[in-house]
Amino acid sequence: MHKRPPITPSPHQPFTHGITRRRIAAALFLLIAGAGLAAQDAITDAQWIGLLWLSWVPLLVAVWPDLPPTVPPLGRAALRMTMIFLSFMTLFSVQLLRVQVVMSDSISHRVGIDPATGDVISNPFLTDQALTTPRGAIYDRDGLALARTTFADGIARRVYPAPATAEITGYFSPLLYGSSGLEASWDEELSGRAGGNPFLGALERLRGLPPRGFDLHLTLDAGLQQLAHAALGDRPGAAVLIEIETGATLVLASTPSFDANRLVVMTAADRAPAQAAWAVLTADSRTPLVQRATSGLFPPGSTFKTVTASAAIDTGTAGPDTVYEDAGVLTIAGHTLVEQNRPNDEQTLWSLTEAFAWSLNVVFAQVGLQLGGESLAAAARGWGWESDIPFDLPIETSRVSVTPGFLDDPVALAETAFGQGELLATPLQMALVAAGVANDGEIMRPQLVARVAAPDGETVRQIGPSRWRRGASAQAANQTAAMMVYAVANGALGTAFVPGYTVGGKTGTAETGSGEPHAWFIGFIGLPDEEPRYAVAIVLEGGGGGSQVALPIGRDLLVAAMAV
């Protein structure tokens, strides 16, 4: 029997293992650094520096030499110090690549505001360019200028001729306060840095020509916007009017508003008057600088019953003819809910349609308990709650609740089902609910900017309608829409009835815990035997009852839209 010779390690094995280790480390370094470079503005500078330092560990492993024992200590130390130095130089080179190439345009255009003085901190060259370069104009859907540029003494001054649209256009003030509204969110196009032909833009920059701003053509109707402002007055509130089929936003009003012209600072002489105007605006407790239509979060009150009703139908929990008992009082886990909306104290049985028409909280509390917290929250998320609405202006996210496990409490669930609890929604969100109900459950992406055009009028970008999401099945949406029409024809919303039109609606009186409740109205309008055309949402902070205050404004806006 022969003995197997002993296995001796190959003299090349350590070398092979070193190669494998270095390759893995190098790949890890490239992965971390590459991910950071690709993220660009999605991460902060501090996060990027953290990633860069993290990538240094595998980089050092990749370049660390495997030295044989024969290398003298001094040579060993010198070589390793060299590798450490080279690894730092590599990190420095990657940082230069990010600053000088990947993020060069973004970094050069960064703007900050001094919180103490309001002064704009930016690249001086870009500030000079902003003072002398004509920005693109902003027009409503009929070509009426909402923002334009005039020249005086070599200064390109921004002018806002339509005061009822300041909360949409925002202001452009390169020396003080910066910009807001469309002036901020569409600055790349308005300043001419984006939006056109990249090749032609590069040629113009090589020739030393200043960028030319591109014009924005909106879906907004300035006449309807003015009508909304007049109806809201100086009361804190908002109005949103949407074309149902396309998602085109015709009205996006927020009151009280402000005069954007008074905040434009292009010279030293503009500074004192602008600071005085700013001080008045920021001291106003009604917060006129806040765009309530998109950034205001309010409890929706009974307007949320449209979501609860569609959820009940979609899940098979109830139908329009399902009967509930409402004798005026409902006890839930020791909490007594008193009904205040019954039109007839002798009637105790109500169909879901009747309960919707008369906004019976006791019935919708029962519907919410049948649905359960998970189903009700899922239905709200289907309509857009807790999602970022794609829009041309910054928008707050509507929320179902903030307290963990809130809807596990039966009292909280019941209150949420009829629009209270911790529910919060923007007026734009509620307008989308009304539009989706009237559109077979389909919610179109709300659209404000319809077209980007060159100074000569040539279209460089056309932005067409697009679907955002489905809020409910077609059956549930259609039956909920029919309930909204019934509420106008036979329920508490009789004052919304307009001869010759089909109008559906839902009011809300949203309790806030203190002071007067918010007044809400959402609804839609169309011609008989045709699809609804427009949807509206109105809210007045502390306005009181929705039927008395918000409904007339919404009705008049809907009728005016049909007449345009």
What CATH number did the domain enclosing 323 receive? 3.40.710.10
Return the closest-CA partner of residue 433 out of 273, 254, 301, 278: 301
Mark whether 441 and 334 lie in a shared domain: yes
Q: Is 501 inside a domain boundary?
A: yes
The domain boundary, picked from 68, 103, 138, lies at 103
| Amino acid code (one letter) for 96 | L
Return the closest-CA partner of residue 226 out of 262, 253, 256, 257: 253
Mark whether 347 and 479 lie in a shared domain: yes
Give the residue ranges of the chain where pLDDT is below 50. Answer: 7, 9, 11-12, 15, 125
- For residue 124, the model assigns a pLDDT of 54
Give me the domain span that covers residue 407. 295-563
**CA–CA gap between residue 505 and residue 486 (Å, rounded):** 9
Helix axes 474-490 and 427-437, enclosed angle (nearest 10):
100
**CA–CA gap between residue 504 and residue 477 (Å, rounded):** 12
- As for how many domains the chain has, the answer is 3
| Amino acid code (one letter) for 111 | V
Q: Which residue has the tokens 């255009």?
A: 109
Mark whether 41 and 143 lie in a shared domain: no
pTM (2 decimals)?
Answer: 0.80
Extended strands (E) in 116-184: 120-121, 138-139, 145-152, 155-159, 172-173, 178-179
Mark whether 265 and 314 lie in a shared domain: no
- For residue 12, the model assigns a pLDDT of 47
The domain boundary, picked from 63, 78, 103, lies at 103
Q: Is 263 inside a domain boundary?
A: yes
Mark whether 514 and 386 lie in a shared domain: yes
What lies within 8 Å, CB to CB, of 438 at 6+ separation is 244, 477, 481, 504, 524, 526, 531, 532, 535
CATH of the domain at 207: 3.90.1310.10
The total number of residues written for the chain in this structure:
564
**CA–CA gap between residue 326 and residue 202 (Å, rounded):** 70
Mark whether 424 and 507 lie in a shared domain: yes
Query: Cα angle vertex 127, ends 124, 130, to 5°?
Result: 155
Mark whether 21 and 133 lie in a shared domain: no
Phi, psi for residue 215 in degrees, rounded to 5 = -85, 150
Phi, psi for residue 370 in degrees, rounded to 5 = -65, -40
Q: Which residue has the tokens 């920059």?
A: 205
Mark whether 167 and 266 lie in a shared domain: yes
Q: Is 473 inside a domain boundary?
A: yes
Residue 181 CA from chain centroid, whole number: 12
Tokens of 508: 């809300």
Q: What is the DSSP string of 420-452?
A: -TT-BB-HHHHHHHHHHHTTTTEEEPPBSEEEE
Q: Is 530 inside a domain boundary?
A: yes
The domain boundary, picked from 103, 129, 162, lies at 103
Q: Is 109 inside a domain boundary?
A: no
Q: Is 92 inside a domain boundary?
A: yes
Mark whether 180 and 97 lie in a shared domain: no
Q: Is 242 inside a domain boundary?
A: no
Mark whether 427 and 484 lie in a shared domain: yes
Tokens of 556: 């008049």
Q: Is 289 inside a domain boundary?
A: no
**CA–CA gap between residue 219 and residue 377 (Å, rounded):** 32
Enter the DSSP assignment of 99.
Answer: I
Mark whether 159 and 196 lie in a shared domain: yes
| 496 beta partners | none
Q: Which residue has the tokens 């007049």?
A: 230
**CA–CA gap between residue 213 and residue 208 (Å, rounded):** 16
Spell out the SS3 assignment of 534-546: EEEEEEECCCCCH
Mark whether 178 and 211 lie in a shared domain: yes
- Map residue 155 onto helix, strand or coil: strand
| Amino acid code (one letter) for 391 | F
